[in-house]
Structure 1
Amino acid sequence: MSNRTVSVWTLVSLIIGSTIGSGIFALPQNIGSVAGPGAMLLGWAIAGVGMLSIAFVFQILAVRKPELDSGVYAYVRAGLGDFIGFTSGMGYWLGSVMAQVGYATLFFNTLGYYFPVFLNRWVLAISVSVLSWVIYWGLTRGLKQAAVMNAVTTIAKLVPILAFVVLVAFLGFSRDTFTADFWGSGMPFTQQLKGIMLYTVWVFIGIEGASVYSKQAARRSDVGKATIIGFLSVLALLVAVSTLSYGVLSQEELAALPDNSMGAVLEAVVGPWGGVLVSVGLCLSVLGAYVSWQMLCAEPIVLMAEDGLLPESMARHNANGSPSRAQLLSTVVIQFFVVVFFLSSASYTAMVQLATIMYLLPYIFSAIYLVLLTAREPGKDLAVGVVASVYSLWLIYAADPVYVLLGALAVLPGTIVYVWNRRRRGERLFNTFEWVVVALVCVGAVVAVAGLADGSLSLD
């Protein structure tokens, strides 16, 4: 695409395509496991304001700092220093890696409904591993995600979602079922609200990508317009799927569904063909997303290596133009998490929660950077930064502490590499603020190791 030729509607389609992923297919079960209809609706209202503010953080920063184009972590590094920028980039990379395992698990679990051999945990682990290494082999030989694949996967996920909304709304929704236990009497309302939060973030991962397209927009104002239209379109689909599901099955029934819970809800309304329709869409969508995200997994590593935060060798490309070393590292770590998740019997839900915690790092620090950047300029941009910062920090508070602690443990090995690289380059390790962050990461990692050792922490 040439510069400044992308229309507002093309931007909208790009935003919707990059945001709608595997999460929406598991949404009925995910939300049904933690909240009743009332908490669900309020949760989406909060998430709507919060995630839109985060989307605008990246859009505002893209306009204010057009020279910073090294991914979402670049803003954090510019405002809060090398180590916090590195931690954000590492969090985004680890979130992408963990998400890969979650995507593949959902893919093979869905196949397992029709081919039970994939429900065997060892077969599932081997299948995820083989898929990851086959895609790595293709990427190192110059495989690109073709426009045809983008088109197929976009249609594959939107057709069953729209079919779900229409069919359930007209054939399966029962007001009595929806209102039977509206406030989720089985658990405190605040606990329900906290429980739903990380799932609402997971299904919005990618909304920050709107800022990537700002340079290609025909008009800069189109980016803000497209962000609102694209965001509200995605939010409408997410709220529709969530709300309609509560009108078909009770909260307890939704919580007991398999990972491909959208398919199970539609099957309850129209019969087996509804489940097949959603399952085919899910498999095609997730497979396309798996290829593109494994390709993108290497990007934060390459960018941080080019910026001197990791060894320069990690940015090298092979003869096919592939960042083979970064992709090898990403695939090795994907394989590591396959072993960790499957040995610990981690569920798809646990993978999602941990990946979301990692994604929150660049969100939080980017929002704080915008506040610092606009602190002396009272107005809309400052308000957006404040809302996004408060929302992001509240998400960490709302998260299960086990995922926060395990997130600290996941970041620690990268910190060791960072220290080694700084010493090799003869650069200062940390400033005072960074030492505080390092101390918190180390304490969290130690607590996580102790909890895993005595069994008080797990990913079950």
Structure 2
Amino acid sequence: MENKKGISRTELIALIVSSCIGTGIFGITTNVAAAAAPGPALLAWLFVGIGILFLVLSLNNLSNKRPDLKAGIFSYAGAGFGPLGEFISGWSYWLSAWLGNIAFATMLMSSLGTFIPMFKGGQNLASIIVAIIFCWILTLLVNQGVESASFINSIGTVFKVIPLVLFIILMIIGFKGGLFTADFWGHVANNMSKGTTTGSVWEQIKGTMMTLIWVFIGVEGASVMSHRAKNRSQAEQATIIGFILLVLIYVMISILPYGHLSRAALAAGGQPALGSVLEAVVGHWGAVMINVGLIISTIISWLSWTMLPAETTMLVADDKAMPKIWGKVNAKGAPTTSLMITGVLQTIFLFSLLFTQQAYEFAYSLAAAAILFSYLLVGLYQMKYSAENQEWGQFTVGLIASIFQLICMVLAGWSQVLLVSISFIPGFIIYWQNCKEQNHKMSGAEKTVIILVLLLSILAIYFVANGTIAIG
């Protein structure tokens, strides 16, 4: 019997882990500590872990059942809810991808600040100008057809994993159980808790959700790669194993520091958080080690994620859910129009960070909120497809995945979701242009959805104007 060539289970696990571990994990300690004490943080990981697991299971099932849908999560939305569904999914994913690059830029400049003081903090004018130059260098490189080779990804993975493994080992050594349990549930409000959230466990859990979702962005790549596996069974196993490894790494990175520093000290550590923690625990060399790894990792990740927004719009345009110009490629095979639009928007947004107190947190929270729209449509299509085929177990999987996304949208990230809805004002103009181009007459259901989203965007503008939603 001839063996099928393809990616092995081990290789696929490595790809899954590599695609998810980016800059988020290097900043997670500070963000989690500001929002939650150790107990609520562990419960938050359990809650978000279950929600993402059911999203992964939905993606796995749809990849197996609908291999004909080549555009992945965007085409799932299209198959379930028509061209408007695919447009909303693609637009949200595109927005999330380039907003994630803003977070990359802020973290990169903060890391450089360890060695060059003028970049300290990552959001002064010098940092923003250098970040913009770097953004356009990458944009022009991708426009020349530069593609991410496997060896570049391998180098990036090494520089991501080695500092993280050393961090975990150092955190295990000298772990202080008494400090870890001193205020396990975060109910104690005193001078030592300055800069952190105290109060109910649920409020603390809510405060961490967008941070935890941010570090899982990229997990959808597992379903995309499953068709390249030696067999579907290995792909499913790799998806689950990769997910479990990610959860273990994330939990240890974010929870173990509570046994070394007070929660207030962790929350005040600044970015990149892992460098600040190691500097406090072992000295300046710890910060240097983390920051060198982070700089190289960020540059490599940023190159890949410069390609991703353009790839997203190209796939959606190929499916005729966006105007053709968004998918038009140059002689080198790069979608120039999409790259240029994305580059201009990133430039504008980088300048806005001069007026935002927590630039990194603001950028990644918007990226996480945007991706929720795409993830929700995956869960809903999983429900629809499973109901049509009377697969009620899979229907339940989709139901849980959808409920989780809605909880995150409504309870944890409502202000960010409203801000993201503003982007659909120009978005729906582009969709209207596509309808004219494709001679597609919008249905009553499409018009209703557009009106509802636009009402949300008007509400968002009102809340920003009266200060209910603060930017900065």
TM-score by length of 2: 0.93
2:411 maps to 1:411: no
3-state SS, counterpart of residue 114 of structure 1: coil
- Among residues 151, 154, 176, which one is paired with 1:174 in the alignment? 176
CA contact (8 A) 1:102 1:351 kept: yes
Within-5 A mapping of 1:320-335: 320-335=332-347
CA contact (8 A) 2:375 2:405 kept: yes
Within-5 A mapping of 1:123-142: 123-142=126-145
Distance 1:111 1:257 in 2: 16
Tell me the amino acid that sits aligned with residue 395 of structure 1. C
CA contact (8 A) 2:77 2:89 kept: yes
Tell me the amino acid that sits aligned with residue 422 of structure 2. L
Tell me the amino acid that sits aligned with residue 377 of structure 1. Q
CA contact (8 A) 2:107 2:360 kept: yes
CA deviation digits over 1:214-268, x for unaligned, max 9? Answer: 1111111111100111011111000111111111112111111112111111222
C-alpha displacement at 1:143, in angstroms? 1.6
C-alpha displacement at 1:425, in angstroms? 3.2
- Among residues 222, 228, 233, which one is paired with 2:234 in the alignment? 222
1:303 equivalent in structure 2: 315
- Among residues 436, 448, 455, which one is paired with 1:423 in the alignment? 436
2:206 maps to 1:205: no
- Among residues 359, 365, 380, which one is paired with 1:353 in the alignment? 365
Flag the 1:342–1:69 CA change in 2: closer, same or farther, 3 A: farther
C-alpha displacement at 1:7, in angstroms? 0.9
Flag the 1:429–1:345 CA change in 2: closer, same or farther, 3 A: farther
1:39 equivalent in structure 2: 40
1:342 equivalent in structure 2: 354
2:16 equivalent in structure 1: 15
Within-5 A mapping of 1:339-418: 339-375=351-387, 377-418=390-431
3-state SS, counterpart of residue 220 of structure 2: helix
C-alpha displacement at 1:147, in angstroms? 2.6
Consecutive unaligned residues of structure 2, counting only runs of 5 or more, are 188-197
Distance 1:96 1:341 in 2: 17
Distance 2:324 2:413 in 1: 37
3-state SS, counterpart of residue 232 of structure 1: helix
2:312 maps to 1:312: no
2:303 equivalent in structure 1: 291
Within-5 A mapping of 1:438-449: 438-449=450-461
Distance 2:219 2:383 in 1: 20
2:52 maps to 1:51: yes
Distance 1:8 1:415 in 2: 41
Distance 1:415 1:397 in 2: 23
C-alpha displacement at 1:400, in angstroms? 3.8
2:91 equivalent in structure 1: 90
- Number of paired residues? 457
CA deviation digits over 1:323-350, x for unaligned, max 9? Answer: 2222112212222322333344552111
Deviates more, 1:28-37 or 1:249-258: 249-258
1:79 equivalent in structure 2: 80
TM-score by length of 1: 0.96
CA deviation digits over 1:58-113, x for unaligned, max 9? Answer: 11101110000113111011001111220111000000010001111110012113
C-alpha displacement at 1:187, in angstroms? 2.0
C-alpha displacement at 1:378, in angstroms? 4.3
CA contact (8 A) 1:422 1:429 kept: yes
Distance 1:335 1:353 in 2: 18
Flag the 1:86–1:4 CA change in 2: closer, same or farther, 3 A: farther
Tell me the amino acid that sits aligned with residue 119 of structure 2. F
Deviates more, 1:337-346 or 1:386-395: 337-346
3-state SS, counterpart of residue 183 of structure 1: coil
CA contact (8 A) 2:86 2:321 kept: no
Distance 2:92 2:203 in 1: 26
CA contact (8 A) 1:174 1:248 kept: yes
C-alpha displacement at 1:406, in angstroms? 0.5
CA deviation digits over 1:173-231, x for unaligned, max 9? Answer: 11011101100112221100111111111111111111111111111111110011101
3-state SS, counterpart of residue 54 of structure 2: helix
CA contact (8 A) 1:21 1:285 kept: yes
Distance 1:164 1:24 in 2: 12
CA deviation digits over 1:269-294, x for unaligned, max 9? Answer: 21111111111111111111000000
2:266 equivalent in structure 1: 254
2:186 equivalent in structure 1: 184
CA contact (8 A) 2:275 2:290 kept: yes
CA contact (8 A) 1:33 1:251 kept: yes
Distance 2:5 2:373 in 1: 31
Distance 2:238 2:418 in 1: 37
Deviates more, 1:89-98 or 1:266-275: 266-275
Consecutive unaligned residues of structure 1, counting only runs of 5 or more, are none
Distance 2:375 2:136 in 1: 30
Flag the 1:121–1:3 CA change in 2: closer, same or farther, 3 A: farther
C-alpha displacement at 1:450, in angstroms? 2.5
Tell me the amino acid that sits aligned with residue 153 of structure 1. G
C-alpha displacement at 1:380, in angstroms? 3.3
Deviates more, 1:73-82 or 1:302-311: 302-311
Distance 1:353 1:134 in 2: 26
